[in-house]
A = this chain, B = another copy of it.
């Protein structure tokens, strides 16, 4: 691990958590001398990864990161395959559809198909949700024992709402249940009055690389079997397009 690069990325990280920060604030958060941070910050700024506000002198993220993020989406085969099928899934179920991948202990949304009723909805691509608090996360963890073990061993499962599962034992039980049906559920666990179901997606080597799910208001809970079937079918179709021979693919080991 290269120290200066590590620190530079950490700077991006703290800038991600706060709109904009002064040099000394960044230095404070990283517990480094200001002059050290200044060199890093300058290098990041030259490349447009961050930019300095012209009057206040404070730093914030720069346009280059947006470009990177955009290119990342284009390179994702999962996203390409997902977009057609999730459109159909949204139409059949009348719900919004989200696709996500695992990033550390969080699910990162890489595709969002809005509810087909045409109402204006926030684009959710790029947001992250804790794995343990989302159907997408649970669907993925159930088929990724190594990651599940890491999450279960964590100090705490942060509560997003009163319904969030915070006991490792309970989460483990639920992951086992997911394996039986191939579908994970989430009821008010990440956002109040928002629920949903999700299923894993596998690549050509049978590895669970992401999950697709439908989101619905909790007032519509539980979702009808037709929605469950449609979801399962969509996950199977996407997996097949990615080259997976079967669905679901039981976890090895």
Interface size on A, residues (CB 8 A): 49
Q: How many copies does the complex hold?
A: 2
Interface pair B72/A70, CB less than 8 Å apart: no
Q: Identify which of A63, A73, A126 gathers the most chain B CB atoms within 10 Å of its CB.
A: A63
| Chain B residues, Cβ within 8 Å of A44 | 5, 9
Interface pair A63/B108, CB less than 8 Å apart: yes
Q: Is A153 an interface residue (CB 8 A)?
A: no
> What's the least CB distance linking A116 to chain B, in Å?
13
Interface pair A75/B60, CB less than 8 Å apart: yes
Interface pair B2/A70, CB less than 8 Å apart: no
Q: With the chains together, A247 CA to B194 CA distance in Å?
A: 44
Interface pair A43/B6, CB less than 8 Å apart: yes
Q: Is A128 an interface residue (CB 8 A)?
A: yes
Interface pair B75/A61, CB less than 8 Å apart: yes
How would residues 54 to 86 of chain A score, 1 for a CB under 8 Å from any chain B CB and 0 otherwise? 110000111111111111110100000000000
Residues of A197-253 at the interface with B, using a CB-CB cut-off of 8 Å, are 205, 207
Q: With the chains together, A70 CA to B43 CA distance in Å?
A: 22
Q: Is A16 an interface residue (CB 8 A)?
A: yes
Interface pair A73/B68, CB less than 8 Å apart: no
Residues of A6-39 at the interface with B, using a CB-CB cut-off of 8 Å, are 6, 8-9, 12-13, 16, 19-20, 39
Q: Is A125 an interface residue (CB 8 A)?
A: yes
Q: Which residue of the partner chain B has the closest CB to A102?
A: B63
Q: Which residue of the partner chain B has the closest CB to A16?
A: B71
Q: Is A110 an interface residue (CB 8 A)?
A: yes
Interface pair A65/B63, CB less than 8 Å apart: no
Interface 9-mer from A45-53, A88-96, A173-181? A45-53
> What's the least CB distance linking A21 to chain B, in Å?
11
Q: With the chains together, A213 CA to B126 CA distance in Å?
A: 26
Given contacts A4-B2, A40-B5, contact A104 B48 (CB under 8 A): yes
| Chain B residues, Cβ within 8 Å of A110 | 63, 66
Given contacts A5-B40, A60-B72, A66-B72, 4 further A-B contacts (CB under 8 A): A54-B207, A62-B72, A67-B127, A67-B128
